[in-house]
Structure 1
Amino acid sequence: MIDVIDFGLTRDGEKVQLFTLRNKNGLTAKITNYGGILTSFILPLPNEERNIVLGFDSLEEYTSDDYLSNYPYFGALIGRFGNRINKGIVTLDGEEIQLPCNHDMHHLHGGNIGFDRKVWKAEVINNEDLKLSYLSPDGEENFPGNLSTEVIYKLTDENELQIHYKAVTDKTTPINLTQHSYFNLSNNFESILNHKLQVDTAFILETNDFLIPSGKIYDIRKTLFDFQTKKSIDRDIEDIENYDDCYAFGESTETPRKVAELSDKDDVVTMEIATTLPGLQVYTGKYITAGKFGPFSGVALEAQGYPDAPNHKNFKHGWLKPGEVYQHQTNYKLIF
């Protein structure tokens, strides 16, 4: 079941709506077609309704100068290319393409105005699924090709929020779509440092100080980055300071496989993450300063392709060619 209300106007006067998805168990997910943002995800616990994602109640808060000045991308769909591209440069058919450098000297999350700040066309399917569509024109943020993207949000009666991605292009283009929600499974948005996390791989991408991959895959067994056995996020945080790493699972898969699990400190709520994508960016939110939310108020678990993939031949999924279909799925399943 999906309800629709007006959510306000953008600064350019575009009308924005807010869609509330419900399942038979009382879970509700609120999503706006501005940026495809998941504004809230509420669980019906015995003594409370608990929101488990960081977000706001109004469009104005998402578009304010204060929020955008230290922009954490709360809950948004990210494209055309999520995460980082080294110095914003990719090479196609021997020619360099310069993409916007909006994060120090590097490209981040699609550029100056990515998919996270676009108004998507919204369609409710069978009063169950929310389909969002966006046509990114050739040359937008200097990306080549007209990229037609659709994302379907589906809330199942198995308490699973599914995100289905699909895209086609008429010119070869870099692509890496993801969803940028920050999760906090506690009540009252306590620090996520007391959450317990498991990530089902022994490998992350080796990166430099700007989080640009070297192209090497780093074996993290028995290091502070190893979450193969579930552990509290704060166990090694004093030495790490902040996790912001892409955990590597190898090839993409045709159907989602479980890659991670997050629980609150008391094990009241557990969330399982499954995806067809080859990477999971784990960001523990040290630099969040947005409204009432501060450092470590949420953890981002972004299923995605590898950052800077177009610049590494051994990362095989950074490009989309005409005639190909980019198709992936990520599921967030709640157990409570």
Structure 2
Amino acid sequence: MSRIGVADRPATDAPQPLLRERWQGHIDGKPVDLFTIANAAGMTVRATNWGAKIMQILVPDRHGRFGDVALGYDSLGDAQTGQPSMGAFIGRYANRIAAGQFCLDGQRYPLSRNDGPHHLHGGTKGSRFRVFDAEQVDGATLRLRYRYADGEEGYPGNLDSEVEYHVSAANELVISYSAQSDRSTVVNFTSHVFFNLRGDDGDILDHRLTIHADAITPVDGTMLPTGEIRPVRGTAFDFTVPMGVGTRIDEDDTQLVQADGYDINYVLRPRNEAVAAVARLADPQSGRVMDILTTAPGLQFYSGNRLSGAVPRDRGKSGRLYGRRDGLCLEPQHFPDSPNHPHFPSTLLRPGQRYTGRIVYRFGIDRAPTDRTGA
């Protein structure tokens, strides 16, 4: 695997950049804008401070042609009528909390319920719908801040949060985040970018995926963890060796059937490094490879099952309709519903403590053409 440098980069063939003026406006009385960060080799990321949403990631293929590997929207208006999680930074609590409640220090905290009887991705107006304060630190770095108010969506504590997006010289999108609270609370952040390493060209079923995890946390019919830690060996969930995403996605497995594909948390193997590689995604056609590194104990793999080409929700960049499985998410995070499962890694944050984490999406090239799509 090798990297593309300035000398290798063609002068043309890059996708059209998003237009900043189409992202400027006000939501809840706060200014919204589009920000661009890039490195000297040409890797470029564009994000809006509404929901801290990443809307474009430009990286080269094996021929040096730049492609857009993130699903997203052309304008703020399109994003507002689109999928709320598309590209978003998720808080105060990523994923689901059962029955919209948890107990902490003997007190029950009822949360907003926005996924049937459950609480999902921070609630009815979680971070996906909030305007972050933005600071363009330099040409490669964007810093975003948001204060979750005490009682917002039902959570205790004023939670001051910060997320930083940085494009490194090594063609990495580095997402660093932190938070502090004045009351005991629970916190679980993640990034919800939808990836297609081929760019705007078809589904992700022949992408090859590796996940360094030997178990999953299976879910019930409402997509809530049962509490079981289930080994993946010999099942359709085994990605311990590279496997095509579509190879076993339609097997008659209850976990696959009820989600219409993959939508499951992986229990990542213990690592010695603070930030360690936990997964790899590769597209045989373009040669693009993405390594995922993180500090988190879990990885939610979602295969884009509920993308449906619906208008306006799935009308993406350049008018493309995002259909079923046209993108996938690999979301490093704590386990879903952790506050209600004491044996899961804790998401408890006490006053005086600092919650920190990092996600790295590292892009590279496999120069050898291949048509491998399965085992």
Please give the TM-score of this superposition, normalised by the length of structure 1. 0.93
Q: Can you give the 5+ residue segments of structure 1 that lack an aligned partner in the other structure?
A: none
Q: 1:167: which partner in 2?
A: 179
How many angstroms apart in 2 are the aligned matches of 1:11 and 1:118?
Answer: 8
Q: Contact 1:253/1:276 (CA < 8 Å) preserved in 2?
A: no
Deviation at 1:138, TM superposition (A): 0.5
- One-letter amino acid of the structure 2 residue matched with residue 321 of structure 1: R
Residue 121 (structure 2) aligned to one of 109, 112, 123: 109
Q: Contact 2:214/2:269 (CA < 8 Å) preserved in 1?
A: no
Q: 2:324: which partner in 1?
A: 295
Q: 2:363: which partner in 1?
A: 334
- The 5 Å alignment of 1:126-145 reads 126-145=138-157
> Is 1:157 aligned to residue 175 of structure 2?
no
Deviation at 1:214, TM superposition (A): 1.9
- What do residues 226-247 of structure 1 show as CA deviations (whole Å, max 9, x unaligned)? 0001010111112134000000
- The 5 Å alignment of 1:265-284 reads 265-266=284-285, 268-284=287-303
Q: Which moved more, 1:198-207 or 1:73-82?
A: 198-207
Q: 1:193 to 1:8 in 2, by over 3 A?
A: same
- The 5 Å alignment of 1:149-298 reads 149-239=161-251, 240=256, 241-249=260-268, 255-266=274-285, 268-289=287-308, 290-291=314-315, 292-298=321-327
Deviation at 1:48, TM superposition (A): 3.4
Deviation at 1:5, TM superposition (A): 4.5
How many angstroms apart in 2 are the aligned matches of 1:122 and 1:254?
Answer: 30
Count of aligned residue pairs for this structure pair: 329
- One-letter amino acid of the structure 1 residue matched with residue 335 of structure 2: Y
> Is 1:125 aligned to residue 142 of structure 2?
no
Q: Which moved more, 1:42-51 or 1:126-135?
A: 42-51
Which of the two has higher C-alpha Rg?
2
Q: 1:23: which partner in 2?
A: 39
Q: 1:250 to 1:235 in 2, by over 3 A?
A: closer
Higher strand share: 1
- One-letter amino acid of the structure 2 residue matched with residue 33 of structure 1: N
> Is 1:319 aligned to residue 356 of structure 2?
no
How many angstroms apart in 2 are the aligned matches of 1:33 and 1:254?
Answer: 31
How many angstroms apart in 1 are the aligned matches of 2:169 and 2:363?
Answer: 11
Q: Contact 2:198/2:286 (CA < 8 Å) preserved in 1?
A: no
- One-letter amino acid of the structure 2 residue matched with residue 49 of structure 1: F
Q: Contact 2:217/2:225 (CA < 8 Å) preserved in 1?
A: yes
Please give the TM-score of this superposition, normalised by the length of structure 2. 0.84
How many angstroms apart in 1 are the aligned matches of 2:27 and 2:188?
Answer: 27
Deviation at 1:187, TM superposition (A): 3.7
How many angstroms apart in 2 are the aligned matches of 1:154 and 1:12?
Answer: 27
SS of match in other structure, 1:202: strand
- One-letter amino acid of the structure 1 residue matched with residue 353 of structure 2: E
Residue 67 (structure 2) aligned to one of 43, 47, 50: 50
How many angstroms apart in 2 are the aligned matches of 1:320 and 1:179?
Answer: 20
Q: Can you give the 5+ residue segments of structure 2 that lack an aligned partner in the other structure?
A: 1-17, 309-313, 316-320, 366-375
